[in-house]
Structure 1
């Protein structure tokens, strides 16, 4: 497999999941400002929409969308139980529910704050919504080690990645102590640390 990523972007979640399952894969870094990939090739020739992550699988086909790729990795490598099988519908629902929450309530809202073209009134509304959603997350994490229960899943790879954006967007997590503890707990996982080191987000 080949993963196209940009350091610290939502592609980090897929990067973490691949390292969690222990499979071999190639990394191609993409500069989202210039849309150049690897040694300078035009990323639009790989991905017409120009964003990451993009995962090229064994048959040569290329696929996008973070939540979808995370489910795929969990299903292809079932032994690690990063997502429960469809036969365990209730447990799987909990993970998919969190993937949807992160994608629609956190990822989408945070994304507005990355754009310099976002009006200040819109940015203020996004910050207020994020505070509300992070409070919801904090209440949940007060009684849960990971999002979907006692074990790490693909939802945690995604949640950790998106909440980590607060550090780049000057959003304080201090009002959310359980979220802070959760972020620290996930960051200690070897696969998470290795992914962040590979993307240059941590010093060795």
Structure 2
């Protein structure tokens, strides 16, 4: 399988899931601004909307959307126990994947990180963050993970909570979440995935800064 990702984007969750499962996969970095892969190909030929993640399966079929990809990875590698197998447990997993994707990822963090979003939009997103994160914190008060054991929902939530550092959200306001996030940082699969993508992110930012500097530099005298 081939994962199309952007450093420290929500696609980080799938990398964590692969590492947790000890699964082999290849990884192709995507420039989300240029909509190009690291090889220069037009990423919209893979995903017309230009979003990550996208997962290319062995036969060439493309699967998109984080919740779908994460559940497929969990099902492909059942020995890793990244998803419950009983109906209620699976429904609980889908509940958390849906909540993280819609109520945190899209409703809270994306508006706060969007440089083009109006101040009113950011204020609205921030106003709704407290209740949503409070609900998560209540779940984690006496639990190590969202479900009975580490699951793909934890991988997704970790990826989203990372974005707090570039928003006004301070996870210390919810001690249970802050402790949970710190615990996950120490998990080998999470630590490896995060370190690798943080390095790629730093390189990407350096390239963009260099390119911006070149554009702003005065033309040489002839």
**CA distance in 2: counterparts of 1:200 and 1:115, whole angstroms:** 20
Aligned to 1:152: 150
Q: 1:76 maps to what in 2? A: 76
Name the counterpart of 1:180: 178
Over the aligned positions, Cα root-mean-square deviation in angstroms equals 1.5
Shift of 1:114: 2.2
The alignment status of 1:113 with 2:112, answered yes or no, reads: yes
What's 1:98 paired with? 96
Query: The residue matched to 1:200 in structure 2 has which SS?
Result: helix
- Shift of residue 64, structure 1, vs aligned partner: 0.6
Alpha-carbon shift at residue 112 of structure 1 (Å): 1.6
Alignment correspondent of 1:137: 136
Q: Indicate conservation of the 8 Å contact 2:4/2:28, yes or no.
A: yes
Distance, in Å, in 2 between the alignment partners of 1:27 and 1:169 is 28
- Name the CA distance, whole Å, in 1 between partners of 2:27 and 2:198: 13
| Alpha-carbon separation, structure 2, partners of 1:52 and 1:169 | 21
TM-score by length of 2: 0.86
Q: Which residue of 2 aligns with 1:123?
A: 122
Structure having the higher helix fraction is 2
Shift in Å at residue 180 of structure 1? Answer: 0.5
> 1:6 — aligned with what?
6
CA deviation profile, 1:91-150 (whole Å, cap 9, x unmatched): 22221111111111101121122222211111101011112111111111111110012x
- Cα separation, 2, equivalents of 1:92 and 1:61: 25
Shift of 1:200: 2.5
- CA distance in 1 between counterparts of 2:119 and 2:103 reads 19
CA distance in 2, matches of 1:103, 1:134: 13
If you compute each CA radius of gyration, which structure gives the higher value, 1 or 2?
Answer: 2
Q: Aligned residues, how many?
A: 200
State the shift of 1:168 in Å: 2.1
Q: Which runs of 4+ in 1 moved over 6 A?
A: none
Distance 1:57 1:170 in 2: 38
Question: Which whole-Å CA distance do the structure 1 matches of 2:146 and 2:171 have between them?
Answer: 17
Shift of 1:201: 5.0
Take 1:187 and 1:198, find their aligned partners in 2: how far apart are those partners?
A: 13
| Structure 1 residue 170, shift from structure 2 partner | 3.5
Alignment of 1:33-48 (within 5 A): 33-48=33-48
Q: What are the Cα deviations for residues 47-73 of structure 1, in whole angstroms up to 9, with x where unaligned?
A: 111010000011111111001101111
